[in-house]
Structure 1
Amino acid sequence: MQNTANTLSSDPSAGIDPVTLTVIEKGLQQVCSEMDLVHEKTSFSPVISEAFDRSNGLYGLGDGRMIAQGEMGLPIFLGVMQETTRCVIEARDDLEDGDVILVNDPYLGGTHLMDVKMVRPFYYKGRLWCYLANTGHWPDTGGMVPGGFNSTATEIHQEGLRIPPVKLVRRGEMQQDIVQMVLSNIRVAEERIGDIRAQIAALNSGARRLAALLDRYGADVVEAAIAELETRSARLMRNHIETIPDGCYASTAYLDSDGVVNEPLEINLEVTVEGQHISFDFSKSSPPCQGPLNSVWASTLSAVYVGLKHIFPDVPMNAGCFEPITVEKPRGTFLYAEYPRPVAGCAAEVSQRVMEAVFLALSQAIPDRLFAAPAGTSGNLSLGGTDPETGEGYIMYYFSGGGYGGWWDGDGLNNGCSTIGISKSQPVEILEQRYPILFDSYRLRTGSGGAGRHRGGMGVSYRLRLLRGQGKASFLMEHGRYGPPGILGGEAGDPNRIRIGQGDRVIEPEHRSKGEDFVLCPGDWIEVNTPGGGGYGPAADRADEAVARDRLQGYLDPHDPHGAKP
């Protein structure tokens, strides 16, 4: 039975010298980063092994507070994994040494069903000391469409297999009945068992490395170091918040649609800054929606944390940096999804609109530290079918980059990763080897960045074609109705645009950035043009040499005499 009374010490007065404190801080980080590497190198799915769509970390007793997270893990899981671990602690009072909990329930500290979490209690010298936890994006967890990004789901049960906190491993022994239950409800089961074992291997690696760290420095010293690191992180975040002028700042960000009702959703945010404290109120946002663009609380909360991390990147990430931040639970809105609301787009898409609202609000207060809106979509594209050459089923999950917004000291980044993570697009060569597809083109999307004194970065354009067999494509993206907005007079970047070629017919989806069950035959194709970032400041203020450089590099329409976005 777990003993929640054995919490980490909150007394930082142990007199740890700065060198030891730094070594322990880096040691905890290294434990998590090594978990990331094991997870990456042993996973079967390219979305994990090539694109790094995963996270590993250490979490405290009692409330699952974040101790450390791997440098190569997705930032969106900063707040999510805290909530996951807390919910597991509340749900299971029977955890023993060697157990591993499997869970993907969005309403229990989760995101969408494809982000599958594992939590392992870590015992040191017979005492429950902390929890190790990780997340991996499985390319499929069942549901109505291959890949899980069902853009027309109206309840969670249509999206895939929902797993409550269950013991996948009991005292070191994998529970085959649980494994068989999971594999029987998802596609391409032989690939998923490889991902399951990779996540367990990462947790085991972390347990060994953490035990070695505690052996070297002693549990009491490490506990005191964790408390001191939290205190310092909280202090630094408070100091940053204090530099923001006191006041209330409002913004609105829009989603194209919920995939079912073809009308925009609004994220209405009010940010209040008072001294060293900042609070966020989303209560005036749109009500719960019919389609899968609802966001669970853990995802909404984490999006705010990651938004602030983008603005203040030097704050070390642990539970301390969250202390000066209050996010009111937006009950009654689509940002606080409750069972059985569908949530497939919450982590990959809605979270980026939440962050966009944070950026737009605070740009009014500290424009010299902010930037125009980035592309703000993960470009989720799934293709599933059976390859007639091998006779094996497959599911390809692909996401792409877009332009970042211009900022106070320069232009936006071209083809940057989504704002929720550090995941990179999978190499097209790897995808072409594994799946019956060919990329006809992959290039920067010329002219897609919003014009401004500092222009937005370019999105990308790519077209992939099915070579053999029959495939079913689905996609759930964003910023197809409105481009990423500029700030301080900058223009918006180009919106997302998707086209599908089926035989001699070319169509665009009704919901612009969302669609499903597009049946592809050999030779059919999908073309995706991702958004460019917004511009910073008036385009008329852009330096002539910058316009000339853009033309030389092929970023602008050569027929546009002013260097503005066509």
Structure 2
Amino acid sequence: MSTDDQGHEGSNVWEDFQKGYVPEDDLDIHPSLDLHEEYTKDIDTVTYEVLRHRLWTVNEEHGQTLENVSGSPVAYFGQDFNPTLMTHDGEVVFNGPYVQLFSPIAELQVKWILENRSDNPGIEPGDVFISNDPWVGSTHQPDVFFVAPIFVDGELFCWIANTLHQYDIGGQSAGSFVPSADDVFDESTPIPPIKAVENGEVRKDVKQMYQRHSRMPDMVGLDFNAQVAGLQVTQEQIDELIDEYGAQTVKGVMDRIIEDSETKFLEKLRELPDGTWRAREYMEGSKTGDDDLYVAELQLEKDGDTLTFRNKGSAENEGSMNLTYAGFRTAISCVVNPMLLYDQLWVTSGAYRHIDINTDPGTLNRAEYPSGVSCGGTLSIELSIALIYDVMTRMLSASDETREDIITDPLAGLIVLSQAGMDQWGNPFGTMNLDVMGTGFGARTDKDGIDVGGILFSPKGPLPNIENNEQDYPMLYLYRRESQDSAGHGEYRGGGGMDSCFIPHNTEAIQTVVAGNGGVTPNTRGIAAYPGAPIRSRTVDDSDILEQFENQEIPDDIEEVNGDMETYPPKAEFVQGALDVMETRSPGTAGYGDPLERDPEKVLEDVKEEIISEEVATDIYGVVFDADDGEQTVNEQATENRREEIIETRLAESTIPAEE
């Protein structure tokens, strides 16, 4: 604790900025701020259910306002945002059904504001705070939070917030992903919470300062307006609920929603044995030009009613690959929510009452200031999610009651393309290519994953149509398709990823920043199965694509294009010229169970659908086919022999560890 010049004891601001804000159990709030803490406990079931659904609907309409007002493709295609409703002290009542990374971090923003802004400049009705500081609470700087208090009779009743990924808010690379950063000073400037709206009026000085950082100030200005509008609409609706039902009843429903979430979480935990589970993944390069591997370790201990996460053995924070405490904390919700709270979806605050995070400062997933973190929201956080899935699936496997809840790691890696230049009309453009949404969906214990099923922690995030991308940006697609042999092989296979191939159109070049991980080592392991295929980005430079067009040919594989092939590392920056053909591959996800246990008829179906190749069917699944009048069928005896052969090879190549 530190004492400011008014004698108030608040959090040590500079220590928060250095190591990351970790709130204590008792928030140190200035006594001049009155909190609305009273609520009704005895609420009848009908009133509770009506109000619970009303609050959910209010929060969902908050998200729809963001989508409708913002002009950003990140909002209306990727739906890379989330609205949040919280209690007076920052516990999350409802997340929105959008990107789940954001809402648990909003809790940290609120708690930090309470401790550090309650005296100077104060927290008043009509205020909105803006922040994107990863050491306060953000996955990375492009994820910008707008946070507003709601008062009742002079007392702070609750908080509402929204987070939206802004395309460009500064830094040395267009799009604000800076994989070449040595530290945060090469990136967008982190903004601790400041008042962007005061007494209901937008502060022009703050908005202009904010837009001044961006290469696309008009787009950022629209997003600013959208986020303020979302808060205004939501506040009006919360005020109406309070007028109709009374503040204590509404507050009582909020409290019960969180308590129900906590109860369900504890019921699941008590079905599991105590124990410790471990996982290891790798970050590929700390920055552009670095081809080293950096280890990320995770230990999950279950002890009674508590889950404890540690990261002993993780590499030190270097370059741009890093994630702050806030990012790691919110990654946990992306796994806890679908695995342990699917019947209380979007309410993870009850679970956080029983989660301890004891990670080591100065590591790649607990970065200290001034480490580079602009790629954390797309690299390190996904790596952390993969680690958490790894340990969680193993923990759930330890109980018959919870094994059926397993979804294999749904994120084998992530490849983000930030693109900028002059569009087909001669105007500056910038965008985040959202083909990234075309990833596979993990396998279950009794069914296959979903090919190009999307990102599990972004349930409403759609894949933009090719026509929309071609209309809005200077690009022409050659193909976009499911990627063969990308699904993790198993008794139940994972979901396959997607290949996307395009050229610049009516422009001389496109500046491209690749920010990815999972290209050399897949970030998913599965359960006794194969991982999904890794990400990949490659180009054929100075190609003959125009000659092929003139011959009325459109290649359906980049291998059919002549020119200089170059495959890029997961972190790269380059210029795609007018004749350069680019292909990206989104990852597949892991399988479940031994592929030799897979029904041969399902393998045949996958071959016919071109999900897997015949070579993979024979070499990995051990299924042999006959051609009967041109129709493939399973040769049952040859399949049995082939599977026995694979088992014998496994045994011959296996070794027994020496006794210590």
TM range (shorter): over 0.9
Provide the residue aligned with 1:554 in structure 2: 610
Corresponding letter in the other structure for 1:357: L
Aligned to 2:406: 370
Match of 1:162 in 2: 190
Helix, strand or coil at the partner of 1:562 = helix
Residue matched to 1:68: 94
Contact 2:503–2:579 (8 Å) recurs in 1: yes
Q: Compared with structure 1, are the counterparts of its residues 466 and 288 closer, same or farther at alpha carbon in structure 2 (3 Å cutoff)?
A: same
The 3 A distance-change label for structure 1 pair 362 and 176 is closer
Q: Does 1:440 align with 2:478?
A: yes
Cα deviation code 1:286-333 (max 9, x no counterpart): 1112x2111011110011122111212223405223112212133231
Q: Deviations over 1:29-65 (max 9, x none)?
A: 1111010000001101011012110111122223x22
* Matches of 1:349 and 1:29, distance apart in 2: 31
Identity within the alignment, %: 25
| CA drift at 1:395 | 0.3
Residues 83, 298 of structure 1: 8 Å contact kept: yes
Q: Which moved more, 1:93-102 or 1:456-465?
A: 93-102
Unaligned runs of 5+ in 2: 1-29, 398-402, 544-562, 623-660
The aligned residue for residue 379 of structure 1 is 415
CA contact under 8 A between 1:113 and 1:162: conserved in structure 2?
yes
CA distance in 1, matches of 2:579, 2:117: 51
Aligned 8 A contact 1:449 1:565 in 2: no
2:115 to 74, 90, 109: 90
Give the aligned partner of residue 405 of structure 1. Answer: 442
More displaced 10-residue stretch of structure 1: 108-117 or 352-361: 352-361
Q: 1:77 aligns with which of 64, 87, 102?
A: 102
- 1:453 equivalent in alignment to 2:453: no
For residues 508 and 390 of structure 1, the distance between their equivalents in structure 2, rounded to whole angstroms, comes to 29
Match of 1:320 among 350, 354, 367: 350
CA distance in 2, matches of 1:443, 1:486: 24
2:53 aligned with 1:26, yes or no? yes
Query: What residue is the counterpart of 2:381 in the other structure?
Result: 351
- Higher mean displacement: 427-436 or 207-216: 427-436
Question: Which of residues 162, 165, 168 is equivalent to 1:134?
Answer: 162
Matched to 1:436, the amino acid is P
SS in 2 for 1:363: helix
**Shift of the alpha carbon at 1:239?**
0.9
Asked whether the 8 Å contact 2:508–2:578 carries over to 1, the reply is: yes
Task: Specify which of 614, 620, 625 is matched with residue 564 of structure 1.
Answer: 620
| Aligned pairs for 1:100-499 within 5 A | 100-260=128-288, 261-289=290-318, 291-312=319-340, 313-316=342-345, 317-367=347-397, 368=403, 369-387=405-423, 389-399=424-434, 400=436, 401-422=438-459, 423-467=461-505, 468-499=507-538
- The Cα shift of 1:507 comes to 4.6
AA aligned to 1:277 is T
Q: Deviations over 1:206-239 (max 9, x none)?
A: 0011111111111011112222222221111011
> Aligned-residue CA RMSD in angstroms?
2.0
Shift, 1:194, TM fit: 1.0
1:8/1:60 contact within 8 Å kept: no
Alignment CA distance shift 1:537-1:88 (3 Å): same
Quick check: which has more Rg, 1 or 2? 2
Q: Which amino acid in structure 2 is aligned with residue 412 of structure 1?
A: G
Q: 1:188 to 1:239 in 2, by over 3 A?
A: same
- Would the alpha carbon gap of residues 560 and 334 (structure 1) be closer, same or farther in structure 2, given more than 3 Å must change? closer
SS in 1 for 2:344: coil
Q: 1:345 to 1:104 in 2, by over 3 A?
A: same
Distance 1:193 1:2, change over 3 A: farther
Cα deviation, 1:82-124, whole Å, max 9, x if unaligned, reads: 1122222223221222121111111111121111111112123
Q: Do structure 1's residue 515 and structure 2's residue 541 form an aligned pair?
A: no
Is the contact made by 1:79 and 1:299 (CA closer than 8 Å) also made in structure 2? no
Paired with 1:209 and 1:564, the residues of 2 have a C-alpha distance of 56
Cα pair 1:4 1:61 within 8 Å, conserved: no
8 Å contact kept, 2:413–2:522: no
Counterpart code for 2:514: F
Alignment partner of 1:102: what SS? strand
- Any stretches of 5+ residues in structure 1 without a counterpart? none
CA distance in 2, matches of 1:60, 1:506: 57
Change (3 A) 1:314 1:3: farther
2:14 maps to what in 1? Answer: none
Matched pairs, number: 558
Contact 1:556 1:563 (8 Å CA) reproduced? no
Structure-2 change in CA distance of 1:279 and 1:392 (3 Å): same
Richer in helix (by share): 2
CA apart distance, 1:523: 2.9
1:533 corresponds to: 589
The farther-off stretch of 143-152 and 198-207 is: 143-152
Residues 170-227 of structure 1: per-residue CA shift (max 9 Å, x gap): 1122121222222222112111111111111100000011111111111011112222
Letter in 2 for 1:78: S
| Distance of 1:43 and 1:322 partners within structure 2 | 32
User: Which AA in structure 2 matches 1:271?
Assistant: L
Shift of 1:344: 1.7
Q: Distance in 1 between matches of 2:302 and 2:612?
A: 40
Q: Give the alignment's TM-score, normalised by structure 1.
A: 0.94
Are the structure 2 counterparts of residues 92 and 48 from structure 1 closer, same or farther at C-alpha, using a change threshold of 3 Å? Answer: same
Where 1:121 maps in the other structure, the secondary structure is strand
Shift of the alpha carbon at 1:5?
A: 4.1
SS in 2 for 1:178: helix
Distance 2:617 2:146 in 1: 56
Q: Secondary structure at the match of 1:519?
A: strand
Conserved 8 A contact 2:85-2:161: yes
Distance in 1 between the 2:299 and 2:447 partners?
Answer: 28
CA distance in 1, matches of 2:77, 2:31: 37
